[in-house]
Amino acid sequence: MASRTALRSLSMRRALTSHSMVSSMSPSKSAAFSTMTKVMHQQSSSSGNSSNNGTQTHFGFRDVPENMKEALVREVFANVASKYDIMNDVMSGGVHRLWKDHFIRTLAPTPGTKLLDVAGGTGDIAMRFLDFCKETHGDNTAQVTVFDINPNMLQVGKERFEKTPYHSTSQVSFMEGNAEHLDHIPDNSMDAYTIAFGIRNCTHVDRVLKEAYRVLKPGGRFMCLEFSKVENPVVSKVYDVFSFDVIPTMGQIVANDRDSYQYLVESIRKFPPQREFVKMIKDAGFTVMGQGYEDLTFGVAAIHSGFKL
**Residue 148, annotated ligand binder?**
yes
* Total Cβ atoms within 10 A of residue 56: 15
CA 217 to centroid of chain Cα atoms? 24
Does the CA dihedral 61-63-65-68 come out positive or negative?
negative
CA distance 227 to 283: 21
Name the pairing type of β-strands 301-307 and 293-296. Answer: antiparallel
CB crowding 124-149: b at 16 or more within 10 Å, else e: bbbbbbbebbbeeeebeebbbbbbbb
Whether residue 32 is annotated as binding a ligand: the answer is: no
Q: Which amino acid is at 55?
A: T
240 is in an annotated binding site: no
What are the φ and ψ backbone dihedral angles of 144, each rounded to 5 degrees? -135, 135
SS3 150: coil
Separation between Cα atoms, residue 51 and residue 306, nearest integer Å: 36
- Residue 140 has φ and ψ, to the nearest 5°, of -125, 25
Q: In what order do the strands lie in the sheet with 114-118?
A: 172-176, 143-148, 114-118, 190-196, 216-227, 301-307, 293-296
Residue 122 among known ligand-binding residues: yes
Question: Per the annotation, where are the binding residues for S-adenosyl-L-methionine?
Answer: 122, 148, 178-179
Question: Per the annotation, where are the binding residues?
Answer: 122, 148, 178-179
